[in-house]
Amino acid sequence: MRQARLIVVVVLAGFAGVYVIAGFPGAVAVFGVQVAYMLWRRCGWLLAAQAALVAGLSAGLGSSVAVIGFLGGALLLSRWWALTPLAVLGAAVIEHARHGEVRATLDATITTALLSLLIYGMGRLVDRAGELHANRAALAAGAAADERLRIAAELNDGLGRSLAVIVEGVRRALAGADMPAEVVRTARESLAMAREAAAGYRAMSLGPELTTARALLAAAGIGAEVREGHAEPLGPAGAVLAAVLREAVTDVVRLGAARTCLIETLDTDGTVRLRITDDGRRTAEDGRPGATAAQVEAAGGVLSAGLAPDGRYVVEAALPHRAAGEDEAETGRATYGESYGVVLGLLAAVLVGFSVKALLALPAGMVAPAAAVLAVVVAMQLRSVNGRHMVALGVMTVLAVAPVPVFGPVWLGVAGFVAGPVLLAFRWRVAWPLVAAVLAAVAVAGTAFGLPSAATANFTVSALVTGLVVYGLVRLARQVKELQAAREELARAAVVEERLRAARDLHDLLGHSLAAILLKCELARRLDPARARAELTGVIALAEQAEADLRSVSGEHRDLSLASEAASARSVLSAAGVEVTVDLAHPPLPAEAETVLSAVLREAVTNVLRHSSARHCAVSTALEDGVVRLRVRNDGARGARARHGSSGIGNLTTRLAALDGRLTTAAGDGWFELEAVTPLLASPCPIPAA
């Protein structure tokens, strides 16, 4: 926004400078009021003050009537826009009464109309930039809220109904009826639904896997560097790339020979690339891609792995993907297209207007060839609006210089058509010396033609102002484009973060509750009525917990209790025939820390049930050296390697990292241990999306 305002001030100051050089210092006051009206407050008294100043300069002090263009532009930006033609007509009347020449009257009228349109266009662009800057946070919040509502609707429609079916079936069983098989089937389907939904939300982004990979490598003592060059969310490609990253990092940690690992992503031309490089100095056959190779190929991508010439091992995957946030991008393109259309229309009007002014000063016999040359210049100018077109710039430079001996001093003003593209095409340290050279050439040529000093100065300043007008309009349009892109990026980031939050809660909270419900329902069907009744009573409690978890997934904040989770863990594991030892020796914890450690315990219990044939599990907490440690250790471990890169471990790593904590795992001969550490006085920060 500051840059947009500065552009407006500089362009308006250039116009005011023309009048000051012509001997009308009152233009400074007109400039000040115009800036205040456009950038501060558009109120009636400022408009009235501008009208009085303009009338005094043009009618009372004899200034060029084109100064009325300041008032015309201000009117176009107000609710009195319909009065603008009257202001331009007034300029024509005053000029005709003053000199009585048709050519001079046309020149003054064109200049007044062009200045009015220019001020209106710049005001519109600044307003648009201000709107985009002001509501960027609101858009992000609204996008997150919409996504939260969509997630809530999806989950309540599926999982909410399933929980109702389970509770109703269990209540009937408690009332004496046989528990229908539908309850167990629904519990199993609900758990699968929750896991599928969590994977789906998580698969929209590669960011969480990058966070997990960095944490796992650091925990293994491997120096990790992550360079992100992709835009989130990736959509379906994200799920495949996440699997590639997970498998590659797991191999790096498993082999244990690497000291450093570099992870890079790049998103170009509709293709997203992931590259994992480590210095483990493995053989070309070690760590070859496994099941992920088929996934990448099925997604239309390419996966390669092998030793690079420098001896490092490289895994690289490239997949095509549909542009993320396509609907939002279409909106952005429409918004920028509108601004770009305003710029092109205004720029064309300004260039044509300036060209007509030059043609009016030429003898009749030279009008046709001069018009042809100016048409080429205008076409090249409009082509140079977007991008850096050196050929067009070269053509304009030649056509601005070569015809000067033919058309005379009138052609000196065309140099301004070169100054604008120069400012747009080069960096300022190069552009301004070039512009200075253009202006110096105009001044030298004016002197060579024997023009009065005032006329030479007028041509020189006018060339600068023309260049500033071209630069200002195009740069303002680019500012709008950049702000639009930044606003959409914030909205996309908010949606991604909401999806990731839902995925974490689905996996870590609701997934555990549903797994426990399924376990108890299956157990109840195999027990005698008395013992089954106790398990079914537990199902009711777990269903209530699952409903609370579902509300949490849908966006409702909920603090968890470590003591309650430990009691639930004892109940669930005992039902599965696992002997449980619980030793909680932690002091009172901040709510954020207790909630995260509770989620860790839930995931640990779920892993014990899914990935082991445990007969004993020990849960303990302790305060050591200012940090709280939660340990969950079980025997009967199997598939520990697969667990190491799981999404659950990744979720917990991300949650703990937000509290400056960490998660570590260890495995031995048939045992597995998970340890979570968080500072007692943790300073919570937002959970990162990447």
What are the C-alpha distances in Å from 368 to residues 217, 364, 365, 413?
A: 74, 8, 7, 18
Domain extent at residue 274: 208-321
Instruction: Clarify whether residues 241 and 128 are in a common domain.
Output: no
The conformation of residue 317, written as its DSSP 8-state character, comes to E
* Residue 462 within any structural domain of the chain: no
Contact 256, 244 (CB under 8 A): no
471-530 confidence digits (pLDDT tens): 887 777 777 777 777 777 666 666 777 777 777 777 777 777 888 888 888 888 777 777
Of 87, 109, 134, the domain-final residue: 134
Range with top average pLDDT, 16-20, 139-143, 339-343, 364-368: 364-368
Decide: helix, strand or coil at residue 363.
coil
**β-sheet bridge partners, residue 268:** 271
Residue 325 has pLDDT above 50, yes or no: no
Tokens of 267: 């998103």
Q: Read off the pLDDT band of 632 (50, 70, 90).
A: very high
Residues with Cβ within 8 Å of 179's Cβ and at least 6 positions away in sequence, in order, are: 169, 170, 172, 173, 521, 524, 525, 532, 536
Domain assignment present for 224: yes
Name, in order, each residue with C-beta under 8 angstroms of 35's C-beta and a sequence gap of 6 or more.
8, 9, 12
What six digits make up the tokens of 147? 């996504």
* Position 367 in a domain: no
Report d(CA 65, CA 110) in Å as an integer: 11
Shared domain check, 213 and 86: no
Residue 578 lies inside a defined structural domain of this protein: yes
Q: Is residue 237 part of a domain?
A: yes
Higher pLDDT, 488 or 421: 421
- Cα four-point dihedral sign 69, 71, 74, 80: negative
Q: Tell me the C-alpha distance between 16 and 29, whole Å.
A: 9
Cα atoms in the 13 Å half-sphere on the side-chain side of 191 = 17
Determine the angle formed by the axes of helices 84-99 and 102-134, rounding to 10 degrees.
Answer: 150
Report how far residue 209's alpha carbon sits from residue 681's, in angstroms, rounded to the nearest whole number: 27
According to the per-residue pLDDT averaged within each range, which of 140-144, 498-502, 541-545 is highest?
Answer: 541-545
100 backbone φψ class: left, alpha, beta (φ>0; ψ -120 to 50): left
- What are the tokens at 189? 């389907």
Tokens of 146: 């919409």
- β-bridge partners, 277: 262, 314
Q: Which of 108, 134, 160 is the last residue of a domain?
A: 134
The CATH number for 689's domain is 3.30.565.10
Long-range CB contacts (within 8 A, 24+) of 571-574: 571/516, 571/538, 572/516, 572/519, 572/520, 572/605, 572/609, 573/605, 573/608, 573/609, 573/614, 573/617
Q: What is the pLDDT of residues 329-386, one digit of tens each?
A: 444 445 445 556 666 777 788 888 888 888 888 888 888 999 999 899 888 877 766 6
Q: What percent of the chain has pLDDT over 90?
A: 9
Higher-confidence position of 489 and 676: 676
> Are 126 and 230 in the same domain?
no
Q: Is residue 373 part of a domain?
A: no
Q: Residue 676: what pLDDT?
A: 92
566 and 685: one domain?
A: yes
Closest CA to 129 of 626, 643, 462, 473: 473
Residue 687's pLDDT band (boundaries 50, 70, 90)? very low
Split at pLDDT 50, 70, 90, the class of 645 is very low
Judge whether 633 and 673 are in contact, CB under 8 Å: yes
Amino acid at 253: V
Give the per-residue pLDDT at 685: 46
* 113 plus 236 within the same structural domain: no
Number of domains in the chain: 3
Q: Tell me the two tokens of residue 164.
A: 């109702």
Q: Among 276, 297, 321, which residue terminates a domain?
A: 321
Q: Is 109 a domain residue? A: yes
Beta carbons within 8 Å of 311's beta carbon, 6+ residues apart: 279, 281
pLDDT at 262 over 90: yes
Helix (H) or strand (E) holding 597: helix 591-611
**Is 606 inside any structural domain?**
yes
Question: What average pLDDT does the chain have?
Answer: 80
Average pLDDT in the 251-280 region?
A: 87
Residues 75, 81 contacting (CB under 8 angstroms): yes
| Peptide bond between residue 684 and the one before it cis (omega within 30 degrees of 0) | no
Question: Are residue 238 and residue 117 in the same domain, yes or no?
Answer: no
Beta bridge partners of 584: 621
